Amino acid sequence: MIGVDVNSLPYESKIKYPMIKYIRLCRNLTQEQFGTVCKIDQGVLAKLERGDLDLSIHYESKIIEGCRALNISDLELQSVKRLVELKEQRGIK
């Protein structure tokens, strides 16, 4: 957005980029299959999973919509978030 510091906006992200792969694997999907559900190109999804592309609000909303389509609950998302945070704390890749 022009002239707006995105970090100052009152928005809390539900998804961090390391979570994307685990969310996808919750339903045993390939990047291509998950990308189709989320309406994101497979190449873009791969970059998001690796952290090579910023997880903008735009992409996050598409992933959340995909999660809803796949019936991935908020509880599952919270579980994935905790898993990723634990791995980060322990330095596990």
Ranges 13-27, 42-56, 58-72: which has the least confidence: 13-27
pLDDT digits (tens, 9 = 90+) for 4-17: 565 666 667 889 88
Distance of alpha carbon 59 from alpha carbon 38, whole angstroms: 9
14 neighbors 60 (Cβ within 8 angstroms): yes
Predicted local confidence at residue 5, as pLDDT: 63
Instruction: Indicate whether 1 pLDDT > 60.
Output: no
Cβ atoms within 10 A of the Cβ of 17, count?
20
